Each structure stands twice: as C-alpha cells, then as structure tokens.
C-alpha cells in the first residue's frame, strides 16, 4: 500500500481541516446592495408602506441605526450621569483637610510625631544637638528619649548617659520607628510633654511646712497608667476634688500627650504636676513628715466607705492592669477597697481615683 504525499494533497487536507464544519462567509457587495435597495422607489413600483422588506423599512432601519445613541449615552441619560460633577468641578479635599497642627505653635525644627488618631499628634524633636539642648535646659518637659538600637555611635552613647542623669526614661528602638516620629533624627528622638512638669526638690518644702502649720494637704499619685485618656481624666478629677499636687513616676507611664490635655478639659494647665526623680523616695519623705499614705486596690479587706482620713493624705492609684506597684504598697498605712458587685472585676483607674478623692473631700469642700 502506498500513500500519496505530494504537496497538493497535503494542502487539500489542511484546507479541509480548517474549513470542516464551516460554511464560507459571503463577501458583502455594497454596490449590489445599493442597486437592490435604492433610496428612491422606482416610478413603476408601488411602495409597500411600513411593511417588512419595503424600501421605506430598510431606509428607516438604516437611518435609525446610524442615529441611535450609544449604550453609554443611554446609561448616562437613565442614571443622570451627565449631571455628576466633572473633575474640574469637584471639591479640593486636600485644601480643606484639617491640619492637626494648624492651631498649635510648633517651634522651628520640631516635627510632630505620630499620636492618637482623634487628637493632635505628640511633638517629637529629632537630632543629637537638639535633644542634648532639651535635656540640659528643659529635662522635665521631655517624656522619653528614643535611641536607635545598636547604632554604634559614641555620641548617642554619651547622650543616653545624659538622659539617665536627668532621670528621663530611655528606650532602644528600630530606626524605622524613629523615622516615623521625626526626620532627620540622627538616631535619637525626644518625645515631649505638653507641659513642663515640676521638680520635687522645688516644692517639697511647701508640703513639709504644711504639716507643721496644720494646713491640710491632699496629694494624689498615679502610677502605671498607659491610656492617655485615663490620665487626662485623673488630672480633671484631681483638680475638681481639691488635690494640691499630682505625682507621676519617671517611667512606666504615658506622657502628657495632646490627648491627655484634651481629656483633662483645661485642668492640665491649672493643676500642679510633679515628676520626682525618685517617686519611692518622695513618698518615703512624706511618710516621715507625718502624711498618711493610702492606696486603692481591690485585694484588701479595708473598705473605703467610712474610712478615717487624716488631714494630710497621699492617695495612690495603680494602672489599668498591674495595680499599685509594690514599692508604694509597702509604704501604705492602709490599702483601701472600693465596694463593687462581685460580677465586676475592677474599676477604671481614673474612676477609682475619683471615688477615693471624693470620699476624702466630701466633708472638706463646701458646696
């Protein structure tokens, strides 16, 4: 058996494969169409008006197809898209966007840091010389200094020692975190308080003398509070309930951020706030001077209601999760428990402080 493999045979087979199951597409002859469907009807042929296949019907279909609106135009008319503003007519949202710092006077060279989403950002200062000047002149306005982790820069090492001598909390962080706060930063960023705090050495004599003169004094202590709104509420309640000064630790707390200032509702500027270099030592001095040291904690049997307060009191409250730190607990003359239902685990720190201050002040503040 032999096979015919010539070129003509192969071409025929390929053509048959390509055209298998298909009918040939006829070519459109425009001239033939115009001859068969002229615009004018012949004089000797009556027009079939309106009938399918009539010359008028063909002309009408042709004209309707040429003049019909596009699908987009139909959609625009149906949904009134043509009434929508163009890009030129739209509002410039960037020009109307509110700047967090538009009402705040920020010194030159100070870059705002990332803060709470619903408040103005915390102010951050970046740069070795800038942070060094702050630590030398205004250390009590610096909340915390962030250093680049494993920078290997001897200048940053000396600056870290300066911050520790000023009793400012330091922290090692990644360079990306520093860049999120301030640029340029040269490996160091200082986070600022909204208000310069007081030095304990400048005010302690006032409270020592008050014990000798019989002048009543109330001192509040807030520790381990990380939520700025909680701290702002503590400041507001302290001012309202007659606190003479609020003591804060040097570390383990949120700073006096814009969110703290906003939550305090103006009390931040009126209440005296002090950050002792050694909070444990400051409380020990007050204890030796005759002050009654009290703490608020759920893990005790002594009830706040009806407690016999002295005229000179230091009332301390702990943070949201950790409570009173041990160095305060061991100095307390009494740890007081606020009554609550067994279903509740604890009070918010600012609520606990408010209840404790109210119990002390309710017979001492005239309505």
pLDDT in tens, 288-312: 999 999 999 888 888 888 889 999 9
Nearest to 167 by CA among 140, 188, 186, 148: 140
CA trace torsion 65, 71, 74, 79 (10° rounding): 170
Nearest to 184 by CA among 253, 263, 128, 106: 128
* Residues in the chain, total: 367
**Per-chain mean pLDDT for the chain:** 78
Can you give the pLDDT at residue 66?
55
Give the DSSP per-residue string, 77-100: HHHTGGGS--TTTS--HHHHSPPT
3-state SS track over 263-280: HHCCHHHCCCEECCCCHH
Taking the CB of residue 133, how many other CB atoms lie within 10 A of it? 13
pLDDT in tens, 16-71: 444 444 555 556 666 766 666 665 555 555 544 555 555 565 566 655 655 555 55
142 and 275 Cβ atoms separated by less than 8 Å: no
For the ranges 67-71, 238-242, 252-256, 305-309, the lowest mean pLDDT is seen at 67-71
234 and 208 Cβ atoms separated by less than 8 Å: no
In angstroms, how far apart are the furthest CA atoms of the chain?
133
Q: Name which residue leads in pLDDT, 99 or 186.
A: 186
197 and 256 Cβ atoms separated by less than 8 Å: yes
196 and 128 Cβ atoms separated by less than 8 Å: no
pTM summary value: 0.67
Burial class (CB in 10 A: 0-12, 13-18, 19+), 219: buried
């Amino acid at each position: 058996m032999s096979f015919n493999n010539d070129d003509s045979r192969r071409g025929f087979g390929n053509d048959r494969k390509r055209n298998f199951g298909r009918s040939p597409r006829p070519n459109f002859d425009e001239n033939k169409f115009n001859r068969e469907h002229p615009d004018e009807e012949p004089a000797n042929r009556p027009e079939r008006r309106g009938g399918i296949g009539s010359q008028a019907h063909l002309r009408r279909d042709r004209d309707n197809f040429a003049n019909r609106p596009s699908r987009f135009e139909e959609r625009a008319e149906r949904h009134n898209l043509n009434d929508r503003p163009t890009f030129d007519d739209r509002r410039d949202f960037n020009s109307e966007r509110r700047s967090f710092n538009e009402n705040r006077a920020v010194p030159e060279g100070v870059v705002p840091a990332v803060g709470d989403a619903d408040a103005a950002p915390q102010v951050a200062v970046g740069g070795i010389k800038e942070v060094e000047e702050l630590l030398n002149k205004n250390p009590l306005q610096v909340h915390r200094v962030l250093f680049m982790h494993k920078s290997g820069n001897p200048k940053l090492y000396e600056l870290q020692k300066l911050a520790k001598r000023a009793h400012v909390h330091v922290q090692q962080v990644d360079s990306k975190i520093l860049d999120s706060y301030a640029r340029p930063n040269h490996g160091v960023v200082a986070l600022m308080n909204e208000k310069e705090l007081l030095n304990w050495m400048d005010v302690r004599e006032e409270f020592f003398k008050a014990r000798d003169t019989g002048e009543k004094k109330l001192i509040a202590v807030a520790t381990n509070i990380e939520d700025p709104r909680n701290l702002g509420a503590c400041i507001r309640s302290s001012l309202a309930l007659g606190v003479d000064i609020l003591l804060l630790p040097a570390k383990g707390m949120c700073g006096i951020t814009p969110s703290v200032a906003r939550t305090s509702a103006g009390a931040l500027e009126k209440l005296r706030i002090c950050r002792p270099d050694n909070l444990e030592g400051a409380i020990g001095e007050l204890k030796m001077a005759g002050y009654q040291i009290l703490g608020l904690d759920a893990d005790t049997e002594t009830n706040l209601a009806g407690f016999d307060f002295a005229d000179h009191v230091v009332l301390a409250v702990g943070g949201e999760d950790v409570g009173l730190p041990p160095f305060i607990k061991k100095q307390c003359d009494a740890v007081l428990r606020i009554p609550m239902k067994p279903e509740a685990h604890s009070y918010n720190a600012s609520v606990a402080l408010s209840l404790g201050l109210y119990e002390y002040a309710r017979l001492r503040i005239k309505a």
